[in-house]
């Protein structure tokens, strides 16, 4: 009887491990696909000079948040169907459009292309390193979630404050903190998948995508501030 119980327990454990590996694999695949509409949106945005409401940053922020949260709500509601994938790809296209603003700023530097390439390369290196650590080690990084959330709330408050004060040093400090924060979120989100805390690959992809997106934006912001060269 005890042997049968052990066999059943081993089989259940193996099934769980296979499911977690499948979620992680599908997440990586969908994450790769989601980069294509992001790049397309960014290219279109740069070409047409996309902006939600030019000259009205606070209203633009509210509109952006409204659209972004509408997409995320829709993705959550449809995460178990093909519509979830479609909405996710639509969201990543929209985020690519929103990315065009900082890309145009970077291209205003004589070494703008190099800065963008460095930010993309740095983001990729950080992601591959941290996701590899989270996926291969037995350590559970989900226990850092509360600290990351507190950090995120403080960063959002600091960003809102800096919209009014416009202090360059504060913007630089925020970006530095965000690089660390979203690096931590990569560990957290991949660890959630590996340890069974996230079982849907669509919502998992959304979480990891936002980590990578924000990491890239703030790395680029740091590089522009520290290494940008004007003609």
Question: For residue 195, what pLDDT is reported?
Answer: 87
Decide which of 59 and 147 is more confident. Answer: 147
Inform me whether the pLDDT recorded for 51 exceeds 90. Answer: no
Query: Would you call 144 helix, strand, or coil by DSSP?
Result: helix
pTM of the model: 0.90
Residues 64-114: tens digit of each pLDDT: 999 999 999 999 999 999 999 999 999 999 999 999 999 999 999 999 899
What own/partner pairs with CB < 8 Å and gap ≥ 24 does 57-64 have? 57/163, 58/163, 61/163, 64/98
> ∠ CA(87), CA(76), CA(160), 5° rounding?
90
Q: Using CA atoms in the order 196, 199, 201, 202, what is the torsion angle rounded to 10 degrees?
A: -130
Q: pLDDT class for 9, splitting at 50, 70, 90? A: very low
**Range list of β-strands (E), the chain:** none
CA angle 15, 18, 20 (to 5 degrees): 110
């Amino acid at each position: 009887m005890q042997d049968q119980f052990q066999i059943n327990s081993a089989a259940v454990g193996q099934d769980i491990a296979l499911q977690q590996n499948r979620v992680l694999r599908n997440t990586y695949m969908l994450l790769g696909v989601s980069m294509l509409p992001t790049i397309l949106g960014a290219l279109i945005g740069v070409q047409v000079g996309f902006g939600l409401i030019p000259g009205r940053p606070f209203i633009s922020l509210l509109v952006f948040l409204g659209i972004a949260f509408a997409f995320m709500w829709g993705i959550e509601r449809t995460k178990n169907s093909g519509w979830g994938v479609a909405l996710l790809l639509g969201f990543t296209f929209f985020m690519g459009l929103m990315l065009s603003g900082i890309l145009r700023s970077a291209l205003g530097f004589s070494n703008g292309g190099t800065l963008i390439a460095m930010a993309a390369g740095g983001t990729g290196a950080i992601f591959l390193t941290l996701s590899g650590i989270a996926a291969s080690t037995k350590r559970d990084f989900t226990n850092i979630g509360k600290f990351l959330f507190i950090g995120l709330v403080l960063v959002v408050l600091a960003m809102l404050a800096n919209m009014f004060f416009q202090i360059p040093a504060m913007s630089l400090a925020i970006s530095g903190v965000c690089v660390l924060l979203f690096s931590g979120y990569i560990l957290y989100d991949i660890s959630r998948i590996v340890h069974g805390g996230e079982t849907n690959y669509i919502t998992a992809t959304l979480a990891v995508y936002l980590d990578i997106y924000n990491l890239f934006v703030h790395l680029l912001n740091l590089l522009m501030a520290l290494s940008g060269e004007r003609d």
